[in-house]
Amino acid sequence: MAADIKKLERKGLNNKRTAELMVELLNGACGLVFNAPLDMMIEQRIRERLPDLRYNQLCSLTQLANEAESISTNKDTRELTPGRILRVNDALNGAMALWLSDFSGGIGDFVQSYRKFDAFPVAQKIYQHFQARNKGKLDPGDEYLLVDEFAEMLGVRDWYQWIDDPGVAPQPAREQAAATDSHPQGTTNPALLRSMAMASTMYLLAALERFEKLPATKVKQIALEISVLGMSGLDYSSPEKKYRLNAIPGEEFSALEVMCLMHAGLRQVEPEMDTGMDLDEPFSTAKKLHTARLKFRLSRSGIVL
């Protein structure tokens, strides 16, 4: 993580933009995990049921494949993307390229650009798994099992969670409680929070730099306001900036940002308090980065700690 952060700093990104970029990249990778198996199955069904559209379909798929290849091979994109996320993207785009090569009857080489990537053997395994599963009978809804199977092969099953469709009939209270216990949602999902550790680190670093200019009473005011806000739940799986704080007028924050503000604030004014959030590890990293930056600024001013 530290190496990825330093790499982004060298690119001139500030703490907040680095955190936002990490959330965007993580959401993009999760979206690819979800869409890759579904898209392959949907396109096959379109060809089976609407064969007259096959030429239009191939044109569309070729264009999408070219766009994916352009992004996947872009030097700047690859330099900015953390290695683990890059591996997921390369493996899934490679698997879809293998699928399209077969699906199109070999009219184009969609795979060549992916062969040079370290994740290509994983791409081959994922596509082989898809082929094996596709030979059998897949009942409605089984495509979502494929999403989980792809994620397991990539080691990212803890990056997302399934939640009930809000349109389903309400469950009896006992069943609903059991489902909630076994499938944590929103801010009660520590695995999801851990998967966003890099973004959390940068938001925590930004919070520490904000708080170094404020008195302890103001820091406590911010932390307490967020703790009250959090009583109604904070969905940090969403990057949407929809939270406003009276203590910080004129700014809007995502759920993860306000959680990091609260955690950093309480660690300063109430260090023994349990915040209930699994942010201590990224906070420790953020503190080290903050201390290093502070020493650097002071050394440039001729002050030695």
pLDDT (tens digit per residue) in 61-111? 998 999 999 999 999 888 888 888 999 999 999 999 999 999 988 777 899
Of 139, 160, 181, which residue is a domain's last? 160
Q: What is the pLDDT of residues 17-67, one digit of tens each?
A: 777 777 788 888 989 999 999 999 999 889 888 888 888 888 889 989 999
- Chosen domain end from 138, 160, 182: 160
Spatial separation of the C-alpha atoms in residues 258 and 45, rounded to whole Å: 44
pTM (global) more than 0.75: no
Residues 284-302: what's their mean pLDDT?
Answer: 71
Beta bridge partners of 245: 248
Q: Do residues 95 and 196 share a domain? A: no
Give domain status of residue 293, yes or no.
Answer: yes
35 and 147 share one domain: yes
CA distance 87 to 233: 32
pLDDT on residue 183: 37
Cβ partners under 8 Å of residue 102, min gap 6: none
Sign for the CA dihedral angle at 253, 255, 257, 261 comes to positive
Q: What is the pLDDT of residues 143-162, one digit of tens each?
A: 889 999 999 999 998 888 78
In a domain, 4, yes or no: no
Instruction: Tell me, yes or no, whether 228 and 129 share the same domain.
Output: no
Residue of 122, 105, 124, 99 whose CA lies nearest to 38: 99
* Alpha carbon of residue 304 to chain centroid: 39
**Separation CA 172–CA 25 (nearest Å):** 38
241 and 282 together in one domain: yes
Inside any domain, residue 183: no
- pLDDT tens per residue across span 209-268: 899 889 999 998 998 888 878 777 788 878 888 899 988 999 999 989 999 999 999 998
Q: Mark whether 195 and 156 lie in a shared domain.
A: no
Evaluated on CA atoms 131, 63, 159, 290, the torsion sign reads: positive
Contacts of 21 (CB under 8 A, 6+ apart): 8, 13, 80
Q: Is residue 242 part of a domain?
A: yes
Q: What is the pLDDT of residues 186-204, one digit of tens each?
A: 345 677 777 787 788 888 9
Q: Return the structure tokens found at 154.
A: 């990539």
Q: Show Cβ contacts of residue 36 under 8 Å, excluding neighbours closer than 6 positions.
A: 92, 95, 96, 150
- Among 121, 144, 160, identify where a domain stops: 160
50 & 143 share domain? yes
pLDDT in the model for residue 178: 40
Say yes or no: 137 and 222 in one domain: no
What total of structural domains would you count in the chain?
2
In a domain, 230, yes or no: yes
38 plus 120 within the same structural domain: yes
104 and 38 in a single domain? The answer is: yes
Query: Does residue 241 share a domain with residue 295?
Result: yes
User: Same structural domain for residues 24 and 148?
Assistant: yes
Res. 171: pLDDT tops 50: no
Residue 182 lies in a domain: no
Are residues 144 and 220 both part of a single domain? no
CA distance 275 to 263: 6
> How open is the CA angle 260-265-271, to the nearest 5 degrees?
115
Q: Which of 21-25, 123-127, 166-170, 301-305 has the highest mean pLDDT?
A: 123-127
Whether 2 maps to a domain, the answer reads: no
Range of the domain at 66: 13-160
Say if 168 falls within a structural domain.
no
Number of residues in the chain: 305
Query: What pLDDT was estimated at residue 23?
Result: 77
